Chain A
Amino acid sequence: MVRVKLVNVTKRFGDVIAVNNVSFEVKEGELFTLLGPSGCGKTTTLRLIAGFYKPDSGEIYFNDELVNNIPPYKRNTGMVFQNYALWPHMRVFDNVSYGLKLRNWPPRKIIKRVKEMLKLVGLAGKEKRYPSELSGGEQQRVALARALVIEPRVLLLDEPLSNLDAKLRVKMRSEIRKIQKKLGITTIYVTHDQEEALSISDRIAVMNKGKILQIGDPVDIYEKPKDIFVNDFIGTTNFIPARVIEVDSKARKIILNINDQKIVKDYYGDVEVGMDVICAVRPESLSITSLSEKPKDKPFIVGRIDLIDFLGKIIRYEIETDFGLIRVDTSEKSLREKFKEGDKVAIVIEPETIRIFTK
């Protein structure tokens, strides 16, 4: 079991800074996710940990051991590649036992161990198959078994589910999480899928343009994004412009003008009177009413329903307003009969659900 620590790690490819001064620490047995859009540096970070790249500056530690100069074949990490990287010329057994043979395990122990591992990932009895004879999900399990069988110090997963269909993806991610918890292995997971990250992780680091923007547990990341990018990247967010009209630094309160209505918010950052800010608000925090029914004490925005999208559990309204398209989610089925596309409605904002970002 191992802690993984990155201290001020930077990696350049030519003029491009792929990983920019990244620091984080993954605790023992933790499932830590690097989340971000493609090209954000998350896979590069993972490959730095695996040892396929050397950092240009900064240090990588496994526990207290500096591993910067340890080549990949001596790091004892178990990596699962995005495309599984199963060797097409080897059967499942040979794929999985490869690492054990390199570690000079006796053949009898190898057979036993591979069997156990295949059972763990739900592939018992498929030892003799070639990768091409397996389904996508099964290939994924082989790749996982192959990485886990060597009892690696860290498990590294590079977008392991991105080649699976939506249903299987959900199933596999909970299986990966269960296996990871059962073995208690320190795991670093790379994905661009925020839903996957929120569901599987103990903690998440959100990355963009080579930098880490926020590290936190999934609930924090979702509910208290520190950054406008994080807010936008995680879940769906409406951005509504506002202006600061009063700052009460003693009471740590500010008054904002949204759509010519005043709201009071706690705020601790540096804002000044007259500053333009952006209010981020999740679709599920908004509600809609008819123009006549709108509450007097809450700010609202008037718009016309552009699209009603029935998504199963919820209904999403896309509403055209002066501030652009605003999305509102509701699970109230009764609203379905009440409003039609083209109707004029009021979008009601709950001030406490607003998060404020400066531009």
Chain B
Amino acid sequence: MLDLKKAIPKRLLEEKNISLVASLINLILITFIVLPIFAILVKAFISPRGISFENFIIFWSNSYYREALYATFMAAIFTVITTSLIGIPLAYILVRYDFPGKSFFSILVLVPLIMPPFVGALGLYKILGISGVVNIILVNILHVLDKPVNFLYGDMLLFALSDYDKIYLPYGIILINTLHLYPLIYLNCAASLSNIDPSLEEQAENLGSRGFHLFRTITFPLMRPGWMAGAVLVFIWTFSDLGTPLIVHYFKMLSVIVFFKLYEITAGNPSPVSYVIGFIMVIVSFITLFISRKYISLSRYVMMFSGGRHVRRLYRPSGVKLILVYFFLITLSLSALSPHIGLTLVAFSKKWVLTLIPEQFTLDNFYYVTPLAAPFIFRSFIYSLIAAGIDIILGAFIAYIVSRKLFIGSDLLDLIATIPLAVPGIIFGLGYWALFYKVPLLDPLSYTPIILTISYSMRRMPYTVRAAYAGLLQIDEALEEASINLGATRMKTFKKITLPLLVMNLFAGGILSFINALIEVSTTFLLVVTDKYAPTTWFLYFRALADPRRGLAIASAVGFLFVVIIAVALFVTNKILGSKMGSVFRL
């Protein structure tokens, strides 16, 4: 490990406290972010017969694993394509066009953000599932199809490399993830697009360019950093998502294999295949992160405004163009809302069989599930609150150290603090098993609450770091220098001057950490073994949905509570952060 004391330049040694804090933070981040990843990478090469590639051979010689690998890649690649096909035009329309109802649609297209994706999948059961509304319309009303099709579960053969190597396209996963993830592409592209200096496009027009040529040669290349940042998020998310495949019962995904293999670990017999998959996920994440590194680091947040006029380019579409814009936005909004509608209807339905909407509505599902879920919800809140608290403290210090370059390792700190954005939750779960199994106080088996809370806080730390960093950029360093000049130490200045100015940002970032800890699926499912310590997401899948009598209805009721909590929390955050809100969902 790095010798941190030596890394501190002499002049900063006077600021002992700040160095101490920086070292401590580095230690924490290395222990809980870097080392677990290392552990996976190492364990992938350890087999009963020593260090070898044997595990990889075992993985590769199994055609089911190979197909899962292909399918996972296909899901990720195609989801990037579909979300881009939605997100890029959406960004262009909402940034560049002016039309009645624009602000309404700007909010509506973001509704997927207030729903955890696995809850969204649940909501789509009765819309796109085998007995869903779409099938009822297509089969029973329009008679387009002979028998219902499950749009959520299933795949289609893209092509076969050999009899044992078939590449499938898991369209259900792609569909659900597309509906959920397009806002990431949209938000990132919109941010890039509105930062483009108008003169760059005017110059091209001046030289004779217009229409699609202008978009292809100037506009898109200039918004590419934003698109790439969004695409990286979408890719890694889909590549490693566990919740959605589990909900739709599509098990030919790497994440699901890791999850099912977990029982071999807890039985004291770690599955080498899990670590091989972990290895693949880490490498894929890091390659993606590395490729887009220059677009991801915190310092990217400094806007690139050059001098000159900033007259926004805004068009008013009319005629056919306007109709197309509305058609696109209305279709998209309806699709984006369908999981919410489905979820709400199911949660409040008494019976819903083969009709377009439920015949009877009731609160019974809530009455039934609330007492059962109460202890789980309580635990969720405790874990998430503590995790958010840790994030607020860490976020404030990390952002401060990175933005003011107080520490020679601040770039490293920036990099490590960015890792959780790119590294999937599965990796955290798996890595913690690999590293902390049977370690006192941290063992996932016996100390679940501790390690779960730590995993939540590490996973979601980027939210507070980013929120604090955005705030720090707006605080003039001279305010701090004035305080230091008057004799205060760095630490004292941070406490008395900087922190009070940052409180709102930290609070907002903390809320986002809290929400995301609340809805965390993959680390939760990997680290929790019994319902003694389990939080709500675990309850939703393993208890509520598993209820043979009315699993879907009560699971939807729990999902509905989730959505309400998130909506409220996001509303509060939005009130605090205002227009800076979007930056939290961006890379």
Is B486 positioned at the interface, with any CB of A under 8 Å from its CB? Answer: no
Which residues of A have CB within 8 Å of B210?
71, 73
The verdict on B101 contacting chain A, using a C-beta distance below 8 Å, is no
Contact A81 B203 (CB under 8 A): yes
Question: Which of B83-91, B170-178, B217-225, B515-523 has 4 or more CB atoms under 8 Å from chain A?
Answer: B217-225
Smallest Cβ-Cβ distance to B208: which chain A residue: A102
Indicate if the CB atoms of B309 and A76 lie closer than 8 Å.
no
Contact A89 B203 (CB under 8 A): no
Contact of A82 with B308 at beta-carbon distance under 8 Å, contacts A98-B217, A102-B213 already known: yes
Closest to A52 in B: B202
Contact B222 A73 (CB under 8 A): no
**Chain B: CB-nearest residue to A79:** B206
Instruction: Check B209–A83 contact: CB distance below 8 A.
Output: no
Q: Taking chain B's interface residues, is the majority helix, strand, or loop, or is none over half, making it mixed?
A: helix
A77 proximity list for chain B (CB < 8 A): 206
Nearest CB of chain A from residue B154's CB, rounded to whole Å? 41
Which residues of A in the span 51-85 have a Cβ within 8 Å of any Cβ on B?
52, 71-79, 81-83, 85
A74 contacts B202, CB within 8 Å?
A: no
A-side interface size class:
20 to 34
Contacts of B206 in A (CB 8 A): 50, 72-73, 75, 77-79, 147
- Is residue A10 contacting chain B, with contact meaning CB distance below 8 A? no
B307 — which chain A residues lie within 8 A by C-beta?
Answer: 82-83, 162-163
One of B208, B209, B217, B309 near A82 (C-beta < 8 A)? B309
Q: How far is the CB of A289 from chain B (nearest CB, A)?
A: 47
Q: In the complex the two chains form, is B208's CB within 8 Å of A73's CB?
A: yes
Query: A89-B222, A98-B217, A163-B307 are contacts. A83–B208 as well, Cβ < 8 Å?
Result: no
A146 within 8 A of B: yes
Q: Say yes or no for A286: interface residue by CB 8 A criterion.
A: no
A123-156 vs B, CB cutoff 8 Å, 1 = contact: the mask equals 0000000000000000000000011001000000
B246 an interface residue at 8 Å Cβ cutoff? Answer: no
B200–A85 touching, CB < 8 Å: yes
Query: How far, in whole Å, are A102 and B202 apart by their CA atoms in the complex?
Result: 15
A299 within 8 A of B: no
Cα-based distance from A87 to B222 in the complex (angstroms): 8
Answer yes or no: A99 CB below 8 A from chain B CBs: yes
* CA distance in complex: A103, B222 (Å): 23
Once the chains bind, are B202 and A99 in contact (CB under 8 Å)? no
In the bound assembly, the distance between CA atoms of A83 and B306 in angstroms comes to: 7
Chain B residues lying within 8 Å of A98, measured Cβ to Cβ, are 204, 207, 209, 217
Residue A43 lies at the interface, judged by CB distance under 8 Å to chain B: yes
The reply to whether A76 and B308 form a contact with Cβ atoms under 8 Å apart is no
In angstroms, Cα B307 to Cα A150, docked, is: 26
Bound-state Cα–Cα, A147 to B199, Å: 13
- Nearest-neighbour CB distance to chain A for B378, whole angstroms, equals 52
Interface membership of chain A positions 28-64, coded 1 if the CB is closer than 8 angstroms to chain B and 0 otherwise: 0000000000000001000000101000000000000
A46: min CB distance to chain B, Å = 11
Query: Do A76 and B306 touch across chains, with their CB atoms under 8 A apart?
Result: no
Are B205 and A81 in touch, CB under 8 angstroms? no
Q: Within the complex, what minimum Cβ distance (angstroms) separates A37 from chain B?
A: 15
Residues of A within 8 A of B197 (CB): 83, 85
Q: Evaluate whether A89 and B208 lie within 8 angstroms (CB atoms) in the complex, with A52-B202, A72-B202 already known.
A: no
Task: Give Cα A81 to B203, complex, Å.
Answer: 8
**What's the least CB distance linking A29 to chain B, in Å?**
21
Q: Report the minimum CB–CB distance from B316 to chain A (whole Å).
A: 14
CB pair B221 A89 closer than 8 Å: yes
Chain A residue with Cβ nearest B308: A83
Q: Give the Cβ gap from A274 to chain B, nearest Cβ, in Å.
A: 48
A128 to B566, CA, bound (A): 51
Q: What CA separation (Å) do A88 and B209 show in the bound complex?
A: 17
Judge whether A146 and B207 touch: CB under 8 Å: yes
Name the A residues within 8 Å of B213 (CB-CB): 102
Within 8 Å by CB of B200, from A78, A87, A147, lies: A87
Q: Which residues of chain B are within 8 angstroms of A43 by Cβ–Cβ distance? A: 309
Instruction: State whether B221 touches A83 (Cβ < 8 A).
Output: no
Complex Cα–Cα for A354 and B203 (A): 46
Whether A99 contacts B207 by the Cβ 8 Å rule is yes
The one of A52, A81, A150, A162 that contacts B208, using a Cβ cutoff of 8 Å = A150
Map CB proximity to A onto B199-242 as digits: 1 under 8 Å, 0 otherwise.
11011111111100100011001101000000000000000000
Closest to B210 in A: A73
Residues 79-113 of A, flagged 1 when their CB comes within 8 A of B and 0 if not, give 10111010111100000001100110000000000
State which of B203, B209, B217, B224 has its C-beta within 8 Å of the C-beta of A85. Answer: B203
Interface centre among B203, B209, B224 (most CB of A within 10 A): B203
| A13 and chain B: residue at smallest CB distance | B311
- Expressed in whole angstroms, the minimum distance between the Cβ of A199 and any Cβ of chain B is 23
Contact B199 A74 (CB under 8 A): no
A74, B203: Cα distance in complex, Å = 13
Residues of chain B contacted by A99 (CB below 8 angstroms): 207-208
Across-interface contacts of B203 in A (CB, < 8 A) = 79, 81, 85, 87, 146
Closest chain-B Cβ to A33's Cβ sits at a distance in Å of: 19
Distance of A72 Cα from B202 Cα, bound (Å) = 8
Tell me, rounded to whole Å, the shortest Cβ–Cβ distance linking A74 to chain B.
Answer: 7
Chain B residues with CB under 8 Å of A73's CB are 205-210
On whether the beta carbons of B199 and A85 are closer than 8 Å, the reply is yes
In the complex, A73→B205 CA distance in Å?
Answer: 5
Q: Which of A50, A82, A102, A103 has the most CB of B within 10 A?
A: A102
Query: CA separation between A72 and B205, bound complex, in Å?
Result: 6
For B200, list chain A residues within 8 Å (CB).
Answer: 85, 87
| Residue on A nearest B213 in the bound complex, by CB | A102
Central interface residue in B206, B213, B306, by most chain A CB within 10 Å: B206
Q: B209 — which chain A residues lie within 8 A by C-beta?
A: 73, 98, 102
- Which residue of chain A has the shortest Cβ distance to B211 in the bound complex? A73
Task: Decide yes or no: A74 and B308 within 8 Å by CB, A79-B203, A85-B200 being known contacts.
Answer: no
Distance between Cα atoms of A347 and B75 in the complex (Å): 86
Distance between Cα atoms of A74 and B205 in the complex (Å):
8
Beyond contacts A146-B207, A162-B307: 20 other A-B pairs, Cβ-Cβ < 8 A, are A52-B205, A72-B202, A72-B205, A73-B208, A75-B206, A79-B203, A81-B308, A82-B308, A83-B197, A83-B199, A85-B199, A85-B202, A85-B308, A87-B221, A88-B222, A98-B204, A98-B217, A102-B208, A150-B207, A150-B208
CB pairs A–B below 8 angstroms (12 shown): A72-B205, A78-B206, A79-B203, A81-B203, A81-B308, A83-B199, A87-B218, A88-B222, A98-B209, A102-B213, A146-B203, A150-B208
Q: Which 4 A-B pairs have the closest CB atoms?
A: A83-B308, A99-B207, A85-B199, A85-B203
